[in-house]
Amino acid sequence: MAPTAMTTPLSLPTQAPLSNPSDAKLPLARPAAGLESMPTEIIDIILDCLVPQPPELGETHPVSYAKLVPGEAWYSLTRNRRGLCSLCLVSRRWAAAARPLLYRVLTILDEDAMVLLFRTLAETPPYGTWTRFLSCHLTLTSEPVIRETRRAISRLLRICKPATEPAAIMGPIKSSLRRISTMLPHLNASPGFFDGIPQDMLFLILMFLPRLETLFLQLPISDNEPDYGTLLHELERFYKLGVHTFEDPDLVPLHKIGTLLLQGDPEVEAHFERIDCDCHLNYAYGAQFSHYWPLYDALPNLKTLEVSIDNGCWSNMAHGRDGGDNLYLAKIRHIYLHNSVTSPFDLHHLLRNAPNLETLYMTPRRGWSMDYEVDAGDLSFGHPESLDAALVQHKNLRHLDVGWYNMARYESLLGPEGRFKSLPELRRLEKLCVQLGALYGPEPGMRATPLADLLPPNLVELILEDYWWFNINDFFEMDDWLPQDMILHYQSYHDYRVKFLDMFTQFARDAGERFPCLKKVGLLCKIPQTWMMDNTEVDLDFHFEDVRALFRVQGVEFFVFS
């Protein structure tokens, strides 16, 4: 992309006479337009398209750059970064425009990349002020990562020359730099020595990123790999230093992070899910996110926590052990749980630890159901630590989206009568996605109680899942159904469809008066064969044409999907 002819404007001589009078009709040549002649603002807009989109939770890191193909998760990210790197080599002007974008989104995909990133930031700290997103796709306590990090440090840090100019950002990490320099001669020691060095390296990188807004960390999900004790210890120590130790408040590390993305190691999860895996483990494996409260404490502006592959445990008695507040999620406003084994009982404790929560989202791990001992208690009154008992205390909740595959025999953990009874009291709730089994309880008594009586009054968006706990076998077996199985299922649910449509028709009539803020209603049919027949005119919309018309009269958009 060298700026060859584009940088040399063309022009005609102005003093020489025209050799042919007809040439006077020819227009003067204009300077050739090129990227180098474009305004800086236009170039910035063009280059901004090359900023990589941050990776999503649950993605394993790429194995080989050359083997990536268009459409894969890492293809665009790696190509965009390579394009920005190339632009940095074109000219000083291009480097000045492209380098801040190159460092805006950083991903650590292997041990060499982590050590090289640290070396670059240590030598040129201003580069770190451009970073807004950092993701680390290594499990820092796994034996291979520890081994390869030690090797990378031995090879790559011997030529590191940290910046010596005074800078507020350098103060808290000088001791860590000295500690690593003393380790260099001993990194070939036996396993067990310096096992925390990958965590040390990540901590130091974070210290160079004072304007970081989103942090993505990968955590262990196997008992063979301990939690990040070294990193958490460093974060606790940093938290106790206080802001006053920094000359420039704008350069205090960790203080601008508002979103924390934590994923359990997806590669280990893939190994556990293999048919030939002979590991002896509870199916509720996952990262122990409640152990990471020093990380949450160290991020004073943390508002959003998004996690995947958790172990379902959200109670925490270690936080506030010195007599302080024991609510380790108190500052968090939005929590998203993906691929989760969190039960209603566990969500009770999560909500108790997050009193200011506005958003609670959870998608269950496929096939997981309650398989540990909890005294279910009296179904009529509900469990004292049910999810409904915690929801009553969360008057500020604005968005609730939770679901499970099976709560049979544990319905009391949802609430009294095996259902959510407190929803009508949540007057600030605007968005709700809920299963019918959690609204009506174990039995689908849809005619006994109008749907409008079970919902909060100020809803704006509502998604109902047509799913009950007795449907679980159908849900997991329908992929193997033969055509005759689908026909039998459809026929056997005739009475159910009649009751359901009666309930929904009445709800559509009630919508305008009972729910003045309602704008959108969706129905998710988890088992589409209940409502549609393949190769016929009977589809999802067939049953709901009258319902859609009633909602339209009320000014509400209605849609159905599977």
Paired residues of 287 in beta bridges: 310
| Cα separations in angstroms, 152 against 60, 115, 149, 286 | 21, 7, 5, 29
* Closest CA relative to residue 134, chosen from 210, 242, 50, 234: 210
- B/e letters for 420-455, b = 16+ CB within 10 Å, e = fewer, are bbbbeebeebbbbbbbbbbbbbbebebeeeebbebb
For residue 337, what are its two tokens? 């749980």
Average pLDDT over residues 451-464: 95
Backbone φ and ψ of 229, nearest 5°: -60, -40
Report pLDDT for 371.
Answer: 62
Measured CA angle at 144 (ends 143, 150), to 5 deg:
90
Average pLDDT over residues 164-181: 60
Residue type, 227: D
Residues 372-407: pLDDT tens digits? 556 666 777 778 899 999 999 888 899 999 999 998
For residue 45, what are its two tokens? 């807009």
* Closest CA relative to residue 256, chosen from 314, 299, 311, 305: 299
Question: How far is the C-alpha of 546 from the C-alpha of 559, rounded, in Å?
Answer: 12
Q: Is the pLDDT of residue 197 over 80?
A: yes
Place of tokens 């409640």: 290
Residues 5-22: pLDDT tens digits? 333 333 333 444 444 555
For residue 293, what are its two tokens? 């409260």
Average pLDDT over residues 411-430: 93
Paired residues of 136 in beta bridges: 108, 217
Question: How far is the C-alpha of 275 from the C-alpha of 219, rounded, in Å?
Answer: 24
What one-character DSSP code corresponds to residue 548? H
Question: How far is the C-alpha of 488 from the C-alpha of 477, rounded, in Å?
Answer: 14
Question: How far is the C-alpha of 518 from the C-alpha of 85, rounded, in Å?
Answer: 49
Report pLDDT for 107.
Answer: 95
Paired residues of 520 in beta bridges: 461, 557
